[in-house]
Amino acid sequence: MSENQQKEYWRWKEYNWKNPEIPDWKGGLVTAGVDVGSTSSQAVICVDGQLYAYASMRTGSDSPSSALNAINWAMEGTGLTLQDINFTVGTGYGRVNVPFANKAVTEIACHARGANFMYGPSVRTLLDMGGQDCKAIHCDDKGKVTSFLMNDKCAAGTGRGMEVFANLLAVSIEDVGDMSFNVETEPDPVSSTCVVFAKTEATGLLRAGWSKEKVLAAYCSAMASRVVSLLERNGMELDFAITGGIAKNPGVVKRIEKLLGVQALTPKYDTQIAGALGGALFAKALVEKSAKVAK
Amino acid sequence: MIANYGYKDGSGEFYISIDTDKCTTCSEKGCLESCPGQIFEMMVDDWDDEVAAVKASERNKIKMTCAACKPTTGRPELLPCQAACKPRGITHSW
Ligand code: SF4
Ligand code: SF4
């Protein structure tokens, strides 16, 4: 096996984080959101609705163990155990397979809620570019979804499509965006809308002497045009924000902004945690709702 | 909430939109029985309301499924699903 084949260029870095401004969770309402995606899983823990800790890691061979690994890593160094978490929401494509979750909530609702926290209440149009699909979401000032449109027909325009390209070109997924700007002139987008054909097209372009940078520029551009048509179909309303792994790829983000003629809001946190964060906030709202009902 | 199900491909945009706020007070749920393609189902949404949705297995082939209800000439003003949805909560993009 060649070195290129051995190295997994498409993987994002794994990490965990704890908020230094919240010294202790004891006495607070502890809620969690776990987003099990097709390629990565995130767990977020909130204390009284404030971001306390999170972890982002690869999704393993099955959803239950990926969810457990993610929450365990988020709890690392906090003294928390699963029993200390008052309510957990599972989200993402593996949401019904989070064994310790009290409820499963769609990623559409969780991303909108998470974006409301990350970017502030002015977000009205949200683009979530996940591993398997791409969603254009409208939400109100509370982060409640008012409309959504999803495209899961094809991997082009999704995180998975970009990962396929990173592997094909042997470029780390984290460098794809910046590299795509190292071109003298912007090439035309790759013409294929299907990632399988786009891959064949890219191989042909490399053989024809195109640089990796130029091929990446053409693919980032194709991806941007594809999602822009999705956004326009659902209607654009400002402010605009992007969540999901692709939001960390400036090669796609800047091209989307150029096509739309608007700037996306700058995130305060890793955009990949938006779904899990929304899940943890949903969990808090559900605990409060049931406390009101019980009164 | 307006839920749009469908896709865009080289031949056009094919979306069915459901105004799910209307489903919460709809007693007849006519969409379920009226559709010859049986593409609708009820689901409990994130706010625990029962609303209509297009089945996941149907979303990527609605152009084909709905073709039977959309003759090129003499298309009815309301499609069977739209006529059966008394609150008028269903729209088609094509
Ligand atoms: S008939 Fe219309 S309003 Fe009633 S459940 Fe179906 S889509 Fe919703
Ligand atoms: S057009 Fe016909 S097949 Fe399509 S959703 Fe309506 S009733 Fe069903």
- E strands, chain B, are 2-9, 12-19, 40-44, 50-54, 90-92
Q: With an 8 Å Cβ cutoff, are A148 and B3 in contact?
A: yes
CB contact B61 to A (< 8 Å): no
Residue-level pLDDT at A101: 97
Kindly report, residue by residue over B57-89, the tens digit of the pLDDT.
999 999 999 999 999 898 999 999 999 999 999
Strand positions, DSSP E, chain A:
15-18, 30-36, 40-47, 50-58, 87-91, 103-104, 125-129, 134-139, 145-151, 240-243
Question: In angstroms, what CA-CA distances link A289 with A113, A243, A295, B44?
Answer: 16, 27, 10, 17
pTM to 2 decimal places: 0.89
pLDDT at A253: 95
Q: Nearest CA to CA, how far is B64 from chain A (Å)?
A: 14
pLDDT at residue A50 in the model: 97
The pLDDT value given to residue A5? 40
Q: Does ligand 2 lie within 6 Å of residue B35's CB atom?
A: yes
Q: What is the pLDDT of residue B70?
A: 96
- From A23's Cα to the closest Cα of chain B, the distance in A is 32
pLDDT of residue A246: 84
B8: nearest CA partner in chain A: A151
Residues B1, A150: C-beta atoms closer than 8 Å: no
Disruptive mutation site among A153, A231, A286 for chain B (greatest number of B CBs within 10 Å) = A153
Look up the CATH number of domain A3-115+273-294: 3.30.420.40
Which atom from ligand 1 is nearest to the alpha carbon of B30? Answer: 1
Domains of chain B, by residue range, sit at 2-92
Q: How far apart are CA B53 and CA A214, in angstroms?
A: 42
Contact indicator for B92, B79 with CB cutoff of 8 Å: yes
Can you give the pLDDT of all 295 residues of chain A as single tens digits?
Answer: 333 344 676 667 789 999 999 999 999 999 999 999 888 899 999 999 999 999 999 888 898 999 999 999 999 999 999 999 999 999 998 888 899 999 999 999 999 999 999 999 999 999 998 777 788 999 999 999 999 998 766 555 677 778 888 888 999 988 999 999 999 999 988 876 566 777 788 889 899 999 999 999 998 998 898 889 889 988 999 999 999 888 889 999 999 999 999 999 998 899 999 999 999 999 999 999 888 777 6
Nearest residue CA, atom 3 of ligand 2? B66
Question: What pLDDT is attached to residue A7?
Answer: 64
Average pLDDT over residues B25-52: 95
- The reply to whether ligand 2 has any atom less than 6 angstroms from the CB of B81 is yes
Q: Residue A51, class by beta-carbon neighbours within 10 Å (0-12 exposed, 13-18 middle, 19+ buried)?
A: buried
- Tell me, what's the ipTM? 0.83
Distance between CA atoms of A131 and A173, rounded to whole angstroms? 13
The Å distance, Cα A170 to ligand 1 centre, comes to 49
Given CATH 3.40.50, say whether it is the number of domain B2-92: no
Q: What does the pLDDT read at residue A132? A: 75
Cα–Cα distance list, A266 to A17, A120, A139 (Å) = 20, 11, 18
Rounded to the nearest 10 degrees, how much is the dihedral formed by the CA atoms of A243, A90, B24, A136? 10
Who contacts B49 (Cβ-Cβ below 8 Å, separation ≥6)? B20, B23, B24
Asked if domains A3-115+273-294 and A123-264 share a fold, the reply is: yes
Predicted local distance difference test score (pLDDT) of residue A51: 98
Superfamily per CATH, domain A123-264: ATPase, nucleotide binding domain (3.30.420.40)
Contact residues on chain B for A149, CB-CB shorter than 8 A: 4, 15
B48 touches chain A (CB under 8 A): no
- What pLDDT shows up at residue A152? 60
Ligand 1 centroid from CA B23, angstroms: 5
Q: CB A149 to CB B46 under 8 A?
A: no
Instruction: Report domain extents, chain A.
Output: 3-115+273-294, 123-264
Q: How would residue B16 be classed by pLDDT, with cut points 50, 70 and 90?
A: very high
Cα separation, A129 vs A227, in Å, equals: 9
Q: pLDDT band for B7, please (50, 70, 90 cuts).
A: confident
pLDDT at A13: 79
Q: B36 CB less than 6 Å from ligand 2?
A: yes
